[in-house]
């Protein structure tokens, strides 16, 4: 298939996610003025195969920039967003605009969770063993665990002293999550440990800021981190004293990492050098594809769980794309 694009004038892309329940839906979280000021917009998009385009179904407005988005894992019409004002928003009735009528599209989120003191930069709603749990990480140096049915957080975790860029549950190990920050620190946590202290702290996992991390979808022991040094490092939980592999992803920061859900050896990276790169470790430690279809920082990245080797990305150039990694074979 050819690459399909969607433009968001005066809104700069931060996060894009395929639905795990619907084969043709995506969410795109954006901010005005590159997230420095102004509001945010969440776009619900449809991959219209017969029309050969990405089309907008509806949009949701918030008073501050939106930096991340996560679909609810058990309902196809609910999602959560992370905002620059320190709050999380839970939106429902996302499917009300699917028939072309927007009269029932909600103007406000059904719930707003406000405890963080600074920007919430990442949100994760992927804990398979408790679908009501949401994980948020903030520039206030804290991580919070939420129950989506409650207004107050369940737990707060303190193990970082500076900006946290990402926190994410393991898809294969119950209650375990990892987080990374601006000090180059990688922390591992047990969400049931309400002391709020990490299980393990890997100092200087990178010698620069770590902006992104992701877990393997196939190997419970493997995760990757991406730094402002342009390096991607692979880690094995059985021996965290040193990374087990290193990839080069350009001269500038690695903004987002995403393991494929269809092939264990495939990884993609969104980068501040305006590229999206794809690796297949079974073939080479060099990127097998380098896509240069953005003209600004690439910030959001996601693989489709329904369509093999289909990838979405978005960037500060106000463009969201979906395209197929043509080098990968089933």
Report if residue 328 sits inside a domain: no
Residues of the chain with pLDDT under 50: 101
Q: Residue 3 and residue 230: Cα distance in Å, rounded?
A: 26
Q: What is the pLDDT of residue 194?
A: 82
Tell me which DSSP letter residue 35 carries: G
Report if residue 11 sits inside a domain: yes
Residue 20 — left, alpha, or beta (φ > 0 → left; ψ -120 to 50 → alpha)? alpha
Q: What is the pLDDT of residue 98?
A: 53
Can you say how many angstroms the Cα of residue 312 is from the centroid of all Cα atoms in its chain? 11
Q: What is the pLDDT of residue 293?
A: 96
Report if residue 329 sits inside a domain: no
Q: Which residues pair with 267 in a beta bridge?
A: 259, 279
Task: Quote the tokens at residue 199.
Answer: 């299980």
Report if residue 330 sits inside a domain: no
Q: Residue 116 and residue 136: Cα distance in Å, rounded?
A: 9
Task: Tell me the residue range of the domain where 148 lies.
Answer: 2-322
Tell me which DSSP letter residue 115 carries: -
Report if residue 327 sits inside a domain: no
pLDDT digits (tens, 9 = 90+) for 101-133: 455 567 799 999 999 999 999 999 987 788 899
Domain count across the chain: 1
Distances (CA, A) of 1 to 195, 217, 267, 292, 322: 50, 25, 20, 17, 10
Which CATH number belongs to the domain containing residue 128 in this structure? 2.130.10.10
| Four-point Cα dihedral 185, 151, 173, 268, nearest 10 | -60
Q: Rg for the chain (alpha carbons), in Å?
A: 18
Q: Residue 92 and residue 76: Cα distance in Å, rounded?
A: 9
């Amino acid at each position: 298939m050819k690459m399909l694009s969607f433009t968001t004038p005066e809104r700069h892309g931060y996060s894009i996610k395929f639905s795990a329940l619907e084969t043709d839906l995506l969410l795109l979280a954006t901010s005005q003025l590159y997230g420095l000021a102004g509001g945010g917009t969440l776009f619900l998009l449809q991959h219209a195969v017969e029309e050969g385009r990405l089309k907008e179904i509806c949009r949701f407005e918030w008073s501050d920039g939106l930096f991340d988005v996560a679909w609810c894992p058990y309902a196809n019409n609910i999602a959560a967003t992370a905002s620059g004002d320190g709050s999380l928003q839970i939106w429902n009735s996302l499917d009300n605009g699917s028939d072309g009528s927007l009269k029932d599209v909600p103007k406000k989120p059904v719930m707003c969770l406000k405890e963080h003191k600074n920007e919430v930069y990442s949100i994760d709603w992927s804990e398979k063993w408790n679908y009501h749990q949401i994980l948020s990480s903030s520039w206030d140096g804290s991580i919070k665990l939420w129950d989506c049915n409650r207004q107050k957080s369940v737990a707060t975790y303190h193990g970082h002293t500076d900006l946290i860029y990402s926190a994410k549950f393991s898809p294969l190990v119950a209650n375990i999550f990892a987080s990374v920050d601006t000090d180059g620190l990688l922390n591992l946590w047990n969400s049931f440990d309400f002391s709020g202290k990490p299980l393990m702290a890997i100092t200087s996992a990178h010698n620069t800021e770590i902006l992104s991390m992701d877990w393997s979808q196939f190997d419970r022991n493997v995760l990757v981190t991406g730094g402002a040094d342009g390096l991607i490092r692979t880690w094995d939980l059985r021996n965290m004293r040193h990374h087990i592999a290193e990839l080069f992803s350009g001269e500038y920061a690695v903004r987002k990492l995403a393991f494929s859900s269809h092939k264990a050896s495939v990884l993609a990276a969104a980068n501040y050098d305006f590229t999206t790169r794809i690796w297949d470790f079974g073939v080479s430690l060099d990127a097998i594809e380098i896509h240069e279809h953005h003209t600004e920082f690439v910030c959001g990245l996601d693989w489709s769980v329904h369509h093999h080797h289909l990838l979405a990305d978005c960037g500060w150039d106000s463009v969201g794309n979906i395209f197929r990694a043509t080098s990968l074979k089933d």
